[in-house]
Chains A and B, each alone.
Chain A
Amino acid sequence: MNGQGDELAGLVAQLREIEDRIVELTGGSVDAVVDRQGRPWLLSDAQQELRERSELQRRFSEQQTALLNALPAHIALLDARGKIIDANEAWRHFGASHGMVDPDSGVGSNYLELCDAAPADVVEAHETAAGIRAILAGEADSLSLEYPCHEPDRPRWFNLVAAPLRSHPQGGVVVMHIDITDRKLAEQDLQRAASLFRASNDGVLITDPDGVIRDVNPAYTRISGFGSEELVGQRASVHAGLNGPEVDHEIEQSLEARGHWSGELRDRRKNGDVYVQKMSVSVVTGEHGQVLNYIIVVTDITRIKAHQAELDRVAHHDALTGLPNRRLMTDRLEQALRYARRHGEALAVCYLDLDHFKPINDRCGHTTGDHVLIEVARRLEVGLRESDTISRIGGDEFVLLLPGIAGIGEVSQVLDRLLEALQKPLEVDGHTVSVSSSIGVALFPEDGEDADTLLRFADQAMYSAKASGRDRHLRFDSRTLRQSEARQSSLQSILEGLDQNQFILHYQPKVDLRDGSLVGVEALVRWQHPEHGLLLPAEFMDFVIGSDHEIRFGEYVLEMALQQLTHWQEQQLELQVSVNISGNELRQSGLAERITSSLARHGGIHPARLEIEVLETTAIKDISQVLLTLSLCREAGVQVSLDDFGTGYSSLTVFQRLPVDTLKIDQSFVRDMLQDSNDRSIVESVIHMARAFNRNVVAEGVETMEHARVLLKMGCFQVQGYGIAHPMEPDAMHGWLSEWRGRRSWEALTPR
């Protein structure tokens, strides 16, 4: 073996020498040689180089694999027929976690066939197969499509990318599935934000940290009238001219302190119109608290503001005349008083009420009445200064505030002129109407110091003006106040009297002179006052009439009378009771119904047992309403008597229409007829008239039997008066009746 070994070693050395010689001869520029049989021999340098290169390639391949496995994308290599020849770990892991049985997750299976096998509605699978085939056929360079692959608990999206595998000699495709869920979610967020930004009705401005506008939405361009190209790049700032520099400062401070500001600002549209906007500014900050953007949201509240202003106007003005209403007037008065106090000025408060306005409404209708009020308002405006306040505070009531006046003299002059202007006839809806007015004046500071007092005093002065004949102005007088206070306190004690049943009825008999029979009694109210004793109507009825309690008082009287009537009926005393009805009761609708229901409550009283007495003077006022009420009463069976006849100067035509059963001749004529021939002729005429119109007639004021005798002679049979009986308590009636009957004085009146 040793000999062979030596020979081999010699050959190797020879070989080495030959190789070195070839390298030497060729300058090292050859790699291989060929023997005469064509057998190639690679030189050792080239062999060494190749070994090193393959080692490099192996390492490179390992690095590539590691790199592919480190990628989160699911990557697979397909061969030219679509077979999966390799896949990275992400691919395998995804396959395993999605139920692939094959531990190699499809490596070896045909990806194109897998795609083809997907249901027809999985569009992406078929698009993928078509796209990969196009790449393999050299018809396309790449494929990219996004598809959802949602999991039960969260949405997921992938981007499939395929590209030709150029390094592979037989061709092929690399397929990647990249998870783009985060990007998709972010995109959706952005889309939502963007559509909110675009679709919002509120204007939105986005600025950079320096306040330079970077984006505006369509709503803002709509509100402002500026196009986005006119706004982007400009500095956003509130208009100092409209809002004042302090607003900029305020916003800045608030943003710094709270990261937010909101408030109302005025701004100008492109066309110059001023609008009101509700603005809120927010800061968007980055991770380190640095300002990234300012978001300005703007709502156009011009219309809301205008609506509020309109509501405000409506709340403070009278709808009919457009004048300030009571509320606004009170505000202005307070304001004027503050000013007057500060500057030591005088101020007049005037309460104006139209005279006899209600009849205009009644006669011509409310529309005409409204037109009159509008015209009055206009005349007041014309007649007064700009600085004066004219307000309508009720139906036909106005309050005038005259600030800065020199004294009552100046006020008088103004009001004289005003009354004159107001009085001029006005043509309304074809009617010629003239209204006068009554004005009460109270002066600050002489008459009162505060708004309430001044208004109250002016109101009282106005009533005094009315009472003293209307069509005038009158300054408040402290004596008026005392009267009014007395009136108020009297009314108060009357109410207490009603509550405590201090009012009683006395009854005055009416007799028939022909046979002395008792035909009826007139109920007359008395006040059994706890301190002042028994009071006659003259001492308290004035307070009742015209007060809010007049109707209640009337009801009270009627109720007492009916109770008494029932009581007498039970005692077999058959007579008729007359009850006086006041003008206001009469004019108030529903009197007939009230009487009817009162009668019904006292079941068993025949309606004819009740007579209502109405003053002639009141009956002929508001004649239409009175006619209606009286007719209704008579239809109900109640008797109607016209009291104090002869004092009201009613015309024959009116008299003829009045539905009354009885005329009562006023006691003043009867009392004086024995001395006064005029009175006597009046009495005679009334008796004749009653006979002519077929009405019953009763004479009041029969103080002596001589009166009775004359009346009897004239043909008036029924009489009432002190000569027959004084009004008496109901319990005295039986006693009087037997005394009267025993007297038999009527028998002496007629010769038998």
Chain B
Amino acid sequence: MAVMSEELVHLRLYVSRGSPNSRMAMRNIETIRQQYLGDRCRLEVIDLFEEPLRALEDGVMMTPMLLLVSSDPPVSIIGNLSDPTPLLQALEVAPDERTG
């Protein structure tokens, strides 16, 4: 487990369920979560087409988009997360610190 802040990380992923990038993002965030965050992470997955108003509220303009709710100010990352670097930087976790 990476050395990182002991706070609970709250992530919210907006997807268009069934679409290829959304599915890839769901897979990628799940992998990153397991490798770096463990059970100190709360992840919400929200379908844009099911809850469009919530998307509007969070200022979501496209999917997939990941929202780091627990960071201040909130950070949002657009895309299928195939490159984990921006997220890890936002979480202040160095890639070489990962453990299997």
Contacts and interface: CB of A to CB of B under 8 A. Distances in A.
B55 A38 contact: yes
B76 interface: no
A34 B48 contact: yes
Contacts of B55: 34, 38, 40
B49 A40 contact: yes
Interface string A95-121: 000000000000000000000000000
A29 B78 contact: yes
A31 B78 contact: no
Interface string A8-33: 00000000000000100011111111
A25 to B, nearest CB: 9
Contact of B62 (A27, A34, A37, A53): A34
Contacts of B61: 33-34
A42 B21 contact: no
Contact of B63 (A30, A49, A50): A30
Interface string B7-19: 0000000011011
Nearest to B57: A38
A32 B79 contact: no
Interface residues of A, number: 20
Contacts of A50: 18-19
Contacts of B22: 31-32, 46
Contact of A40 (B18, B20, B21, B52): B52
Contacts of A42: 16, 19, 49
The interface centre, meaning the residue of B20, B49, B80 with most chain A CB atoms within 10 A of its CB, is B20
B62 A30 contact: yes
A168 interface: no
B25 to A, nearest CB: 8
Contact of B19 (A22, A38, A46): A46
A32 B51 CA distance: 13
A249 interface: no
Given A38-B56, A40-B49, A30 B18 contact: no
A53 B20 CA distance: 10
A22 B56 contact: no
A29 to B, nearest CB: 4
Contacts of A39: 52
B82 interface: yes
Interface in B58-74: 60-65
Contacts of A40: 16, 48-49, 52, 55, 63
Contacts of B20: 31, 45-46, 49
B53 interface: yes
Given A34-B56, A46-B21, A50-B19, A29 B80 contact: yes
A29 B82 contact: yes
A26 B49 CA distance: 20
Nearest to A29: B79
Nearest to B80: A29
Nearest to A43: B19
Nearest to A46: B19
A32 B48 contact: yes
Contacts of A26: 62, 78-79
A32 B25 CA distance: 13
Given A32-B48, A46-B19, A38 B53 contact: yes
Contacts of A49: 18-20
A29 B52 contact: no
Nearest to A27: B79
A33 B52 CA distance: 11
A30 B15 CA distance: 9
A33 B78 CA distance: 11
A31 B79 contact: no
Nearest to A40: B48
Interface of A: 22, 26-34, 37-40, 42, 45-46, 49-50, 53
15 contacts: A29-B78, A31-B20, A31-B64, A32-B19, A33-B63, A34-B62, A34-B63, A38-B53, A38-B55, A40-B16, A45-B20, A46-B21, A46-B22, A49-B19, A49-B20
Q: Which 9 A-B pairs give the minimum distances between C-beta atoms?
A: A38-B56, A31-B19, A29-B79, A46-B19, A32-B16, A29-B80, A31-B16, A33-B62, A30-B62
Given A27-B79, A29-B80, A40-B63, 6 more contacts: A26-B79, A31-B15, A31-B20, A32-B48, A34-B48, A34-B60
